[in-house]
Structure 1
Amino acid sequence: MDRLTGAATVSEEAKHVQKQLATDRAALSRLDDDHYDGLVDRATWLRQRARIQDCIVKNQAVIEQTTALLPTAAFDVATVATEWAEHTPAWQNHAARLLLDRVVIHAHPRGMASTTNRRKGETLEGHDARHAELRKEIMAHRVDLIWTR
């Protein structure tokens, strides 16, 4: 049973629409690649991109309507983070809506670097880890999550 939705399964219609949504997103990606590679002119790219994006928006609305995403007595806030990656974007959206009142983004902290340079003799993995730590520190200063519960 899904702790957030209280639903044991997703409806067949929602599963079909989720597959269509994935297909549309892949088509959009291919279209963007074709335009970048010069295989599709700008006018065609804009027209087709608008059509695919319309389909994506409509399918996202269908998923939200067909998937019951209401909190239940079994709603367990502590497990949302551990289950996050297992769920659809629609579930994640509703979880965020249920848990967060708002997100406040502050300016970049004064005196804090925004990037890291690779040190002499430093491995690529070491630099990536150091850069990831800097990003976490920046985000900790810049982002305030205002919780509803």
Structure 2
Amino acid sequence: MSALETLTEIHPLLKAAYLPFKRIYSQEVTRGENDHKRTTLFEKIKDVMLILLELKSIGKDDTRITPEGKPVLSRMASICKDMKKDIEECYNVLNAQEKRGVGIKFLKAAAWNKQLVSYATRFTNRREDLTFTLSMRTVVTMEKMNSKYVF
């Protein structure tokens, strides 16, 4: 691309032909990156789901009650609820994008790129939230065990 840019300095007509080519090339590169990002998003979803699968043996901790007597979702249940919503939304977006024709994929590549990055960030954040929550739960459990066995 840099060689073509250098050539455009020679003649104005070359520049007029180069600018649309550069835009089309950039859009096509972005469309190709989006295909890769879709695959990466499915991997992130799978990673989060495998973590949740391993947590099935953990007992429910939804027993907290507000002063008004209403049950409060545990932090983990809240994160899982948010993850479920994110997964469903992301799948619907990916499915809609996949059903589009090549022309639409090409034209909307930049907008879809931002959307895919947003979902990737959300899944990364949910995974970090889940890790933090599990760490906190471990600390609380250890403290309960220590308080029972104090001599």
Query: Where on the TM-score scale, by shorter chain, does this alignment land: which range?
Result: 0.3 to 0.5
Q: Which has the larger radius of gyration?
A: 2
Q: TM-score under structure 1 normalisation? A: 0.33
Q: Taking structure 2 as the reference length, what is the TM-score of the superposition?
A: 0.33
If asked which structure has higher relative contact order (CA below 8 Å, sep 6+), I would say 2
Q: 1 or 2, which has the higher strand percentage?
A: 1
Q: Which protein is richer in helix relative to its size?
A: 2
